[in-house]
Chains A and B, each alone.
Chain A
Amino acid sequence: MNLKSKFNNLTFIISTKIDTHLLTFAVISILILIPSYLFSRLRITDGFLFQVIAYVQLTLRSDHLKSFIAGGYSFNFVEYLPGYPLILSILSRLGGITPKELQFLPLAALFVPLGYYTISKRLFHSNGIAILFALYGAYDIGLVSHYNVFVYPWSNLLYFGYLIFYLRWIDRKQLEDLIIVMILFIGSLFLHYASTAWIIIHSISANLVLIAINCYSLRKTGANYHRRGSLALPTAFLVAFMTFNQMFYKVWLPSASSFTQKSASPFELLNSKIISYLYGSAESVEPYRFMNTWGQAFGIWRSIEYSFVFLPILVWILKIFLFALRRKPVFKDLDRNLLFVLPLFITALIDWGAYGVHSGFNFRYSLLVFPFISVMALNEIGLSRFIQKAFLAGLCLVTIITYLLGLKHYTTNPPTSYSETMAGSNWLLGQRLSGPILSDLDTLGQFLVAASESTAIFPRTLTYDAITYQSVVENTGVEDNRSEYELVLIDAKNLSKPLHGISNKYFEPLSLHVSSITRNDGLTKIYDDGRLWIFIR
């Protein structure tokens, strides 16, 4: 074949057969990037990110990052997650991006969908399913802070990396995979406690399952199972976690030990949340507590999304019980189910429990990994690949609708920008007030970031809990350690938004209580610039 005929062949291909696959993937890639693009343009971020940004901004002048107290404010999170401000600091230094702008960088738009694509490709060997998973990852509104440089996408990235190499390890046990797993674990250990705990629990449960199967196999058949479990590596992980991360001792244990004193059990909170999702509102389990922050329509669609994820798993569990009773073979792919799905399930259970005793059940982990189990469940139930794809397409559709409803919430309540809070923050710092400042997480964060540009001395801050919120709207006169504040900061532009308080609790919007705050004779309103109100006690 000469060059001319090759060229003709090529032009024929271009004119008639432009690769539909490539075009499809290009379109899907754009679809995947749209939600992050919109979030970034609307400048949406997570309230917890502000203090990290303020810290990074403060430490840019120094070559070393360390935990310190600036005025009354303690940047103690550096002890628990040293790797996270480190990444942001390095990004900021090398890229010349101010930390204030860095938080809206849509970097993780890449991580989560690519992670979903890669894991599902390995699990299901189907491009279609992998792409649908990537779409799900991009549009899940629960991952609202997963588009930018918040800590969750970084830790999920490492956890997904762990899962990929763990899956490889299931397929063929190799030293290289183990080295990668160890490097990912070390990174995770210094980055975020959640992903580290997930890795530890997953690896421990997988190996315990193997050891149990081996014992069962020895008793039943007298021969070893073809895989052997060992707790050496998981124990090393656990020891490293307990040694290097103080979060467990300093935060979780004290919180868990006061579990019985909490106003509502995790089940009551869950019940209240479900009712508020379905009916728009629910009887509050705590005074002024707000369960559904994004409206009834969003709540209903979010519930449908949860049902989509959980229903196939419940049906599968039912099938397992029925088959076990009839003594039929339960699993199609025993290794995958016992070594991958079961550990994921155990990790989810422990994750629920850990968050349950701390601040109520949290479904972040479940929504992250359960879609994999759902599709595997459909496969195990015996449904065809087409139905599996249809299920995932349905899940994507529900997720996109939920995303759009959530986006509507943000477009009607756009976040206050730094330039808007700057005047109030500068005034407040100029007053040299030393008393603790009470506000919601977002407003306090805005203040901290704005302040970090001009000073290194912050007053102590408090976020709302039931007692402090009540003392603001009612003047209860209650004085305890938690309500010792001198100033109250209110974001006047976002009065209709629920307030993000302590331990991820949300409280009623202040627009419902403006008149009672004005009547509160314990609070003097000393500042108003249209964006920020400042009250003094």
Chain B
Amino acid sequence: MDRHYRQNNVDLLFIGMGCLIFTLLIIVDIFQAIRQVSAIVILIFPTGYSLLACLYPDRSSLSPAERYFASIALSVSMLIIVGLLLNSSVGLSVWNIWIALCSLNLMFVFIAYVRRTRGGSGNNQPDFSSGDLGKSTKMCMQTAISERGRLSEFATLSLVLSVAKEQAKGLELLKMRCFALLSMTKTSLHTRSGNSAKLIPGIFVLLSAVFYFFAFIPEAQSVSPTTQLFLTNLNGKNNDSASIVSNTGKIRLVVVNRENQPMEYEMVSQVAAGANNHLAYLELDPGQEWSLVYELPSLPRNAKQRITFSLYLKDNASKPYRQVHVWVNNPEQ
């Protein structure tokens, strides 16, 4: 019996295919959420994973948690290196990024595949690529029965059985598939902590993806409803700060209703701590602007006083809704 065991490469298959599928989802852009998740996955995982597979063909040399974490860290590192190279050459268009990352990924996947298949790491994994379905299946069943199997082996078995549909006999095939699926479920529910520990990072990543959908809710783009009260010079612009109070001793007072509903206001002015002087009652429709040229009062020489303009809501006269003020330093001087 041929006992030539090699690592199965289903993870590389997933990474290679996944990279292409996810980038396709980004480019096709059917649903925004799918595009976002695809972009995040593409940028922070596969490059590092395939690079690790290149450097450590023997999967047992890194724990699952180490492999997942290092994949993210290396992906980010590679993204920076690739991004800087693109930025200094062809630019950062979506196509350039896509081509660069996919090429890099597929290259790493290819090298990892070659190293795994040629390296003959000597662990107890059946060779599914040998074409000998009977032997592979038997070994896989033995693995499952001895409860040492892993999800990937059974997934590969299922894949091999699908491909070999023509060669296998109907009922036997169904039984084998059922067996493979049941074994997968059983393995995933296995009670030994060793197997569970291998699934922890996977669970964490899965929950993170679900969590992302609930946590990340974009804010509405529109401007929040508000009322603007401002002072400008007579030209309507404050492009020179020294000229708000113009030589004529006048300023422009402006109210803009951006509340998305008709509003009623009262505008008053107050010189220093004196009494309020009523200036106007305003009824403004949404988006409507009101302005008033205000002549600043004459002050004694060398006097400096604050003139406050307060905008009250019609139904709330106790507290100013908006307030601005200007300091007047005897404009006649």
Interface residues, chain A, with chain B CB atoms under 8 Å away: 1, 3, 6-7, 9-10, 13-14, 17-22, 25-26, 29-30, 32-33, 36-37, 40-41, 43, 63-65, 82-83, 86-87, 89-91, 93-98, 100-101, 104-107, 109-111, 113-115, 117-118, 121-122, 127, 130, 154, 157-158, 160-161, 164-165, 176, 179-180, 183-184, 186-188, 190-191, 417-420, 422-424, 426-427, 430-435, 486-487, 518-519, 521, 524-531, 534, 536-537
A529 contact from B76, B185, B222, B227, Cβ within 8 A: B227
Knowing A107-B40, A164-B70, the reply to whether A422 touches B223 (Cβ < 8 A) is yes
B218 at the interface (CB under 8 A from A): yes
B65 at the interface (CB under 8 A from A): yes
CB distance from B173 to the nearest CB of A (A): 13
Contact between B324 and A525 (Cβ–Cβ < 8 Å)? yes
B84 at the interface (CB under 8 A from A): yes
What 1/0 flags go to B241-282 for Cβ under 8 Å of A?
A: 100100000000000001000000000000000000000000
Contact between B211 and A37 (Cβ–Cβ < 8 Å)? yes
Contact between B185 and A3 (Cβ–Cβ < 8 Å)? no
Question: Total interface residues on B, using CB and 8 Å?
Answer: 99
What 1/0 flags go to B194-228 for Cβ under 8 Å of A?
A: 00110111011101100110111111111110111
B191 contact from A7, A17, A111, A114, Cβ within 8 A: A17
Contact between A106 and B211 (Cβ–Cβ < 8 Å)? yes
A524 contact from B76, B221, B325, Cβ within 8 A: B325
Q: Identify the closest chain A residue to B201 (Cβ).
A: A114
Q: Chain B interface secondary structure, helix, strand, loop or mixed?
A: helix
Chain B residues in 8 Å Cβ range of A530: 226-227, 321-322
Chain A residues in 8 Å Cβ range of B222: 419
- For the complex, give the distance between the alpha carbons of A41 and B218 in Å: 10
Contact between B77 and A526 (Cβ–Cβ < 8 Å)? no
- For the complex, give the distance between the alpha carbons of A486 and B44 in Å: 44
- For the complex, give the distance between the alpha carbons of A157 and B190 in Å: 31
B78 at the interface (CB under 8 A from A): yes
A419 contact from B65, B221, B227, Cβ within 8 A: B221
Contact between B327 and A118 (Cβ–Cβ < 8 Å)? no
- For the complex, give the distance between the alpha carbons of A93 and B101 in Å: 14
Count A-B pairs with CB separation below 8 Å.
304
B145 at the interface (CB under 8 A from A): yes
Interface 9-mer from B106-114, B127-135, B159-167, B230-238: B230-238
Knowing A419-B223, A536-B238, the reply to whether A94 touches B94 (Cβ < 8 A) is yes
Knowing A186-B77, A417-B219, the reply to whether A64 touches B91 (Cβ < 8 A) is yes
CB distance from B178 to the nearest CB of A (A): 7
Contact between B29 and A96 (Cβ–Cβ < 8 Å)? yes
- For the complex, give the distance between the alpha carbons of A22 and B90 in Å: 47
Knowing A90-B97, A419-B223, the reply to whether A95 touches B36 (Cβ < 8 A) is yes
Chain A residues in 8 Å Cβ range of B175: 3
Contact between B32 and A96 (Cβ–Cβ < 8 Å)? yes
Knowing A63-B91, A158-B73, A158-B76, the reply to whether A10 touches B42 (Cβ < 8 A) is no
